[in-house]
Chains A and B, each alone.
Chain A
Amino acid sequence: MSVWLIRLVIVGGFFAFWQFGAGTVFNEFFFSRPSAICGQLWDLMASGRLFYHSAITLIEALAGFACGSAAGLLAGIVLGRNEVLGKALDPIITIFYSLPKIALGPLFVIWFGIGIEMKIVLTATIVFFLVFLNTYTGVRGVSRELVAIMKLMGATERNILSKVVLPSVVTWVFTGLRLSVPYALIGAIVGELIASNQGLGYLLSNAAGQFNTAGVFATIVAIVVMTMLLNATVKFVERRMMPWQDEQATREVSI
């Protein structure tokens, strides 16, 4: 109870200060005020612009996410199960991993233009590495002892892949997927910031270009809501896919 009280006081105090301090304590031009932001948000929703641009960003993020994670998954499993190939490509992967993928944005503009494709490619590149590295670690982490035990049972490489490697990788893949959801949005929005005429990133830079601080804040609120919804979705799917992780809490000890 007291936790909620503290939260209420801090958050309420913050917004009250923002609302009533604007124009007196600090310059409203730079910081806007909550009531103005709500107004902007309402306008954006009423005109449908918010949903249009959100949909564009969502499509970019999801498409990039799907392509990137599929490729990352495949590469992670192949390189993880093939020791020689994995070793050979290791330094190359490290180099690409160290590169901030956002830096490739301008290059993608040259290659793919300023349309939706460029954002999808940028997002996919970011997501690829996150999912790839997690999958790779997961596949390499499959115990050699377990593989030996299964071979004694008569298992073929295909058995090992389908009964051990793939299921055990699920946990890692989901870690990668959960990590990459916010990054997928970053990829899409930064892509839009670099060059675009639609999407939340465009809305953001457009509002900023007009010194419309309320519009900037309203867009940020929309981005936060979208990220939270995506995260909740991944968590939900994760729970459905890995029911055994849920049971951990209800563990009962007996002989």
Chain B
Amino acid sequence: MQKNMQFSREDRGQMDSAGATATTAPRGSKNEALIRFSDFGKNFGKGAKTVVATRAINLDVLSGQFVTIVGPSGCGKSTLLNAVAGILPPTQGQVIYRGAPVHDVNRRVGYMTQSDHLLPWRKVAANIALPLEIQRKPKAVIAERVNELIKLVGLDGFSDSYLSQLSGGMRKRCALARVLAYDPETLLMDEPFSALDAQLRITMQTEVRDLCLRLGKTVLFVTHDIDEAIALGDICVVLSERPGTVREIITVNLPRDRDLRRLRSDPHYVETTEHVWALLAPPSVAQKGRVA
């Protein structure tokens, strides 16, 4: 299970936020990006009704990186995830995954969304087993793996419960276990915790971050919550309003084993969030001084 025990990763270097690119840090043997958006753009609709969701996105994601993507609503954050998953083909440019352009459904990734999309007629264990059943694993293997996962996400004792008996946080854990079950190397998370209350959220954020680091997963994490984006990310991609382009790629200089509950008072964290708040402030506020 723990193929990559990557606790100690090379120092990220003290890059300044402005203008930093994500690719400069050397990373083990692989300098190549795992995921590369190259001049990526996506339009929806046709003719006069065309909506340009995103355009000219250039972004490199390295293996094992926790990348958060933040931006105003409708700036095409989810579009980026869908493109990596191969669900929506790009209008311009391409997404390159492990050196090859993504054309079809990309089975190396797992997707977690705001709604957990668990199957209510299955008990917890059977929900987690779903991807393993699809891969036609033998029953004994499935049972063992599901047990492992249940322990991993802290659902001990609930394997025989129906989802309707679980709380919101437990459902998230179940969804997390399910996506981890088939061991995708990249996790795409689209505001997975936005429906949770603040306390539970920070618990889940901590666990997901720890787990992903421990398992060496690469994560693309979309959120509209600036605090969450900085707190979780190794790098944070700030998108502009629609049509979404990369405003800035911020390297978050916080320790990898950061304690999310104590970030509030960390000067770098405060400074970085302030910076992103300023970036994303509505134009009317930001340009007040300039508009005559």
Give, as a whole number of angstroms, the nearest-CB distance from A117 to chain B: 37
Binds B, one of A8-16, A75-83, A130-138, A247-255: A247-255
* Cβ–Cβ contact B121 & A154, under 8 A: no
Name A170's contact: one of B107, B121, B167 (CB within 8 Å). B121
Binds A, one of B93-101, B157-165, B242-250: B157-165
* Cβ–Cβ contact B165 & A149, under 8 A: no
Residues of A within 8 A of B122 (CB): 167
* Cβ–Cβ contact A152 & B106, under 8 A: yes
* Cβ–Cβ contact A247 & B165, under 8 A: yes
Q: A153: CB under 8 A from chain B?
A: yes
B interface, how many residues as a size bin? Answer: 20 to 34
* Cβ–Cβ contact A244 & B113, under 8 A: no
A242-B134 Cα distance, complex, nearest whole Å: 23
* Cβ–Cβ contact A143 & B117, under 8 A: yes
A81-B4 Cα distance, complex, nearest whole Å: 41
How many A residues touch B, CB cutoff 8 Å?
Answer: 29
A168-B120 Cα distance, complex, nearest whole Å: 8
* Proximity string of chain B (238-265) to chain A, C-beta cutoff 8 Å, 1 when within and 0 when not: 0000000000000000000000000000
A243-B117 Cα distance, complex, nearest whole Å: 19
* Cβ–Cβ contact A252 & B134, under 8 A: no
* Cβ–Cβ contact A148 & B165, under 8 A: no
Residues of A within 8 A of B200 (CB): 255
Q: A150: CB under 8 A from chain B?
A: yes
Give, as a whole number of angstroms, the nearest-CB distance from B286 to chain A: 34
* Chain A contacts with B in 137-169, Cβ cutoff 8 A: 143, 145-146, 148-155, 159, 163-164, 167-168
* Cβ–Cβ contact B87 & A163, under 8 A: no
Q: Could you tell me which A residues sit within 8 Å of B by CB distance? A: 143, 145-146, 148-155, 159, 163-164, 167-168, 170, 242-245, 247-248, 250-255
16 contacts between A and B (CB under 8 A): A145-B113, A148-B82, A148-B111, A150-B130, A152-B105, A152-B110, A153-B110, A153-B134, A163-B119, A243-B162, A244-B120, A244-B162, A245-B164, A247-B161, A247-B162, A253-B167
